[in-house]
Amino acid sequence: MAAVALLLTACGSSDPTTVEVAETTAAPTTAAATTGEAAVPSGYELFDGSENGFEIALPEDWTFFGPDDLDFGDFLSDVDFGDASQYAQIQDQIVGMFNQGGVLFAFDFGRGTEDFVDNVNVLRAPSSSLSASGHQKLNEDQYQAFGATVLASDVAQVAAGEAAVLRYEIPEFGSFGISYTIPTDDNDWFVTISVRDLDNMSLDPDLVINSFRVVP
């Protein structure tokens, strides 16, 4: 499952692409909402994915997609990907991820470049019965098999539990990512942040992952 999270590390192709700011398609709550004990700070919104067992706070100017937001006609009217082939590629990636357990895509179209858009995705899989430490080694092997360079790998405590944390680079695309794998009794959760520049992100990864909650 870890490899599935690599789908959008390069949101696009080598073809030039024009990306315009899009409106949020899902319905996050207001910035005053809370996730468990933590208040969502100014500039962030709580994505209510409770129908799929989770919630997470992300920047309020990002565009959110849950499994029920697959009206790509409306999506295309808000975001100009330049040509139909570019749109079809991203559409296929999103549908493929939702078919493999994806429960959220979020994009920073306001800072998109010709060949990349910073993004966050959340996947849920049935429990593998692996601990966070077990996932750590598995993730390292899977990411390296898909051409990633592992920059750091650790097990850390986050709000939702113990997580395998992997920082990586995709040299082919000039992009970076932080992957969190959080095993729970019923599911394994994968939260992946993919960005062009780890030192110039429009979100705080620690805030994002510590806003993530598994909810009934």
H-run or E-run covering 120: strand 119-126
pLDDT tens digit string along 12-68?
A: 333 323 323 233 334 444 333 444 445 688 899 999 999 999 999 999 999 888 877
Looking at the structure of the chain, the number of domains it has is 1
Q: CATH number of the domain that 43 lies in?
A: 3.40.1000.10
Torsion from C-alpha of 153, 158, 163, 166, nearest 10 degrees? -30
Q: Which domain holds residue 178?
A: 2-214
d(CA 40, CA 84): 37
Q: What is the pTM of this model?
A: 0.78
State pLDDT tens for residues 117-162: 888 999 999 999 999 999 999 999 999 998 999 999 999 999 999 9
Q: Give CA–CA dist 119/145, Å, rounded.
A: 22
- Confidence at 107, pLDDT banded by 50, 70, 90: confident
